[in-house]
Chain A
Amino acid sequence: MDENNVEIKEFLEFVYTFYKSMKDAKVELVYEGEITHQITKAFTSLTETNMQLTEESNNTQKKVFHVMIECLQNIGKHADPMNPEDFNKDGRGVFVLCKNETEYTITTGNIIQKHKVDEIGSSLDNINSLDKEGLKQLYKHQIKEGRLSNKGGAGLGFIDIAKKTGNKIHFHFAPINDDFSFMVLTSTITR
């Protein structure tokens, strides 16, 4: 086999391994790329249709829809471009929706400027430390005091996800270089 054929074969094997990993992790939907408003609408509508077909409870459907919207809009509005030319484009990142017998998990990953890591991390730690009543108070405080950012974010997304799901938000920051980190967030909706 020449070198080109070896490469193709490796790639085909990679696709199969990738497929198996997705099945093992019970991935329902996975995407990497720019998160536009159209993408957000398409993914939520597709997921709604699937949940209706599988007769998921109304309550779970609403929560999954809600968390998907907030997570996708978070990437679209807050992912930072590594290339300054992409500054005015919608943010890009990876989106993964998994479903098993007991829960849905919604995971997003995107690049952020490194200097934001501490602030986002401590804000998430704070949210995770609060109970239902504490989250309610924080939500009320933020909706009153917060201002809509120029990208249309209200700073309420994480608080609302924690409040609506009743579960902790798991997160991880992986350093990319001196200026950027990769942020991964997972929200869980109990079925």
Chain B
Amino acid sequence: MEVIKIVGTDDTPSVTLDVANEIFEISGRSLPEDVAAFYEPILDWIERYSEEASGKTVFNFKLVYFNTASSKMILDILLKLEEMYESGKDVMIRWHYPEDDEDMEEAGEEYSDIVEVPFEQISYPLD
């Protein structure tokens, strides 16, 4: 599958979807002007990938900020990963949050309550 590599900006996250190197990651800030336009290609990619995935998929979220419109799109990604998991694929979510950021930690907890997929919360220290 083609590699998706989007370099983040002050309002859009960095995205890497790379099957060969087993990197599935969304990180940074997400408040795009048009959330649907930004996330649709990512959702399409995951949809196609879910059919051919053979190994383990560890999907990393390492966001420092997302607006509520993005939160809906993030859930859509998680729901696709949940579908994959339910169809018998080996899928795991890793939700990384800055160690002092309770809101980001809580966001991870809420998502893990909503979707039925192995979900790990990982705090990381700030520079």
Please list the residues of chain A having a beta carbon within 8 angstroms of any beta carbon in chain B.
37, 41, 45, 58-59, 62, 65-66, 69-70, 73, 136, 139-140, 143-144, 146, 148, 152-154, 156-157, 160, 164
Contacts and interface: CB of A to CB of B under 8 A. Distances in A.
A111 to B, nearest CB: 22
| Chain B interface, >50% SS class | helix
A25 B68 CA distance: 30
A45 B65 CA distance: 14
A73 B67 CA distance: 10
Contacts of A153: 69
Nearest to A76: B33
Contact of A154 (B11, B72, B114): B72
A62 B105 CA distance: 14
A66 B31 CA distance: 10
| Chain A interface, >50% SS class | helix
Contacts of A140: 110, 113-114
Interface residues of B, number: 22
Nearest to B35: A152
B36 A152 contact: yes
A148 B72 contact: yes
Contacts of A144: 75, 114
A66 B65 contact: yes
Contacts of A156: 68-69, 71-72
Given A41-B10, A69-B31, A152-B34, A143 B65 contact: no
Given A148-B36, A152-B35, A156-B68, 19 more contacts: A37-B11, A58-B100, A59-B100, A62-B65, A69-B31, A70-B67, A70-B68, A73-B31, A73-B69, A140-B113, A140-B114, A143-B71, A143-B75, A143-B110, A148-B35, A148-B72, A154-B68, A156-B69, A156-B71
Nearest to A36: B33
B68 A65 contact: no
Nearest to A154: B72
B103 interface: yes
A61 to B, nearest CB: 11
Interface in B58-107: 65, 67-69, 71-73, 75, 100-103
11 contacts: A41-B11, A45-B10, A59-B100, A62-B101, A65-B65, A66-B67, A143-B75, A144-B114, A148-B72, A152-B36, A154-B71
